[in-house]
């Protein structure tokens, strides 16, 4: 590029000298040989349109160091072999064997000594589910089994677990055939990591780990966003009969704008002339349903103003339950 500049400058000097000396003007409009104007924009566009690539295929990647950093980041002592096994997925093993067969490498000389993470994933899933179930049974004793089941299903659902896993850099460390890693693989890998932790550090530490990473996902969520209840009024009547209280009578407490397009009704539910809940709604039926939901939230103790989750003490009495669940 410097040579090109020099050529241009000398060209102009020559032209100036020639014009000064004679009357010949030689304008050099031949294209210069340096980089084109559009090149930078083109390279930027190529960079943006390039398909996403695994971090392990980009420069500066050390798998062993990354795994050690992963265990330090989570403040847990993993046994590194178990952790490395936890990241290996079956699709990866199949793809590697297929590649080796294609390359014609002998199976016995270069055997893949990699184990699957399916066993660890099962252990992790069953442990987390039973642990979360016990946590909720302890914290919300009035919540029925379907409610607790719905909460546990929500916390171990694919989207939530894959979201948590992605933000813990598990996507970079998984060995999988496809990229970007599909959410079910992320979920399986995360549970396999929990299984690896269970086998390395024992059930108590794993319980604390599960509590620290799953339970904060419930912050700000309402019970009936997670647990779909079709007939809240029927459920409420059942709950009240279980507690030997009379069935609720709905009454309109307040109403606003009845004859307009957007009416607002507040329906209160009364048991023995005492109010148990009040809920708003656009129509009377909607308001009654909402009042039933508010009453259920109060009965189950899952209101918005309940005490926040207690993260201080580790849960005791879990060891026996873990033995039961793993058997």
What's the order of all strands across the beta sheet hosting 264-271?
A: 249-256, 264-271, 274-281
Among 5, 39, 69, 105, binds other proteins (CB under 8 A): 69
Among 35, 221, 254, 306, binds other proteins (CB under 8 A): 254
Question: How far apart are the C-alpha atoms of 10 and 5, rounded to whole Å?
Answer: 8
Stretch that binds other proteins, among 66-74, 127-135, 222-230, 239-247 (CB under 8 A): 66-74
Ramachandran angles phi, psi of 267, nearest 5°: -105, 130
For tokens 């952790």, name the residue.
83
Q: Does 66 bind other proteins (CB under 8 A)?
A: yes
State yes or no: residue 65 binds other proteins (CB under 8 A).
yes
Give the footprint of other proteins on residues 256-315 (CB under 8 A): 256, 264, 266, 268, 275
- How far apart, in Å, are the Cα atoms of 186 and each of 17, 92, 123, 178, 213? 73, 13, 16, 11, 15
Distance separating alpha carbons of residues 194 and 123, to the nearest angstrom: 8
Tokens 């201080």, residue? 312
With the C-alpha atoms ordered 79, 82, 84, 87, is the resulting torsion angle positive or negative? negative
Cα(199)–Cα(78) distance, integer angstroms: 9
CB of 301 to other proteins, least distance (A): 19
CB of 176 to other proteins, least distance (A): 18
205 contacts other proteins (rule: CB under 8 A): no
Which of these ranges, 108-116, 162-170, 225-233, 285-293, lies near other proteins under the rule CB under 8 A?
162-170
Least spacing, CB of residue 269 vs other proteins, in Å: 12
Smallest separation (angstroms) from other proteins to the CB of 253? 4
Give the burial class of 35: count Cβ atoms within 10 A of its Cβ; 0-12 exposed, 13-18 middle, 19 or more buried: exposed
> From the list 34, 62, 81, 238, which residue makes contact with other proteins (rule: CB under 8 A)?
62
Q: Is 3 in the site for other proteins (CB under 8 A)?
A: no
Give the binding site for other proteins (CB under 8 A): 59-60, 62, 65-66, 68-70, 72-75, 167-169, 172, 212, 251-256, 264, 266, 268, 275
């Amino acid at each position: 590029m410097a040579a090109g500049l020099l050529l241009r400058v000398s060209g102009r000097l020559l032209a100036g000298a020639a014009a000064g000396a004679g009357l010949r003007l030689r304008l050099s409009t031949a294209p210069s040989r340096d980089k084109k104007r559009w090149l930078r924009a083109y390279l930027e566009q190529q960079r943006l349109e390039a398909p996403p690539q695994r971090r392990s295929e980009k420069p500066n990647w050390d798998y062993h160091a990354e795994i050690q950093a992963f265990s330090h980041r989570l403040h847990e002592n993993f046994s590194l072999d178990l952790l490395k096994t936890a990241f290996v997925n079956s699709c990866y093993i199949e793809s590697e064997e297929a590649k080796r067969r294609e390359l014609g490498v002998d199976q016995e000389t270069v055997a893949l000594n990699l184990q699957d993470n399916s066993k660890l994933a099962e252990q992790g899933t069953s442990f987390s589910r039973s642990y979360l179930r016990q946590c909720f049974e302890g914290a919300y004793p009035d919540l029925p089994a379907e409610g607790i089941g719905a909460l546990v299903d929500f916390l171990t659902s694919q989207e939530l677990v894959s979201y948590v896993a992605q933000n813990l850099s598990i996507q970079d460390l998984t060995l999988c055939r496809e990229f970007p890693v599909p959410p079910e693989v992320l979920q399986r890998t995360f549970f396999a990591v929990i299984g690896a932790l269970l086998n390395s550090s024992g059930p108590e530490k794993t319980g604390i780990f599960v509590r620290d990473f799953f339970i904060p996902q419930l912050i700000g969520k309402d019970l009936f966003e997670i647990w779909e209840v079709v007939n809240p009024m029927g459920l409420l009547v059942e709950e009240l009969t279980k507690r030997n209280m009379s069935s609720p009578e709905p009454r309109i407490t307040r109403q606003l704008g009845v004859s307009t397009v957007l009416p607002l009704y507040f329906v209160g539910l009364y048991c023995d002339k005492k109010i148990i809940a009040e809920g708003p709604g656009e129509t009377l039926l909607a308001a009654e349903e909402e009042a039933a939901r508010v009453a259920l939230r109060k009965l189950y103790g899952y209101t918005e103003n309940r005490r926040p989750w207690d993260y201080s003490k580790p849960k005791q009495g879990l060891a026996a339950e873990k033995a039961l669940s793993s058997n």
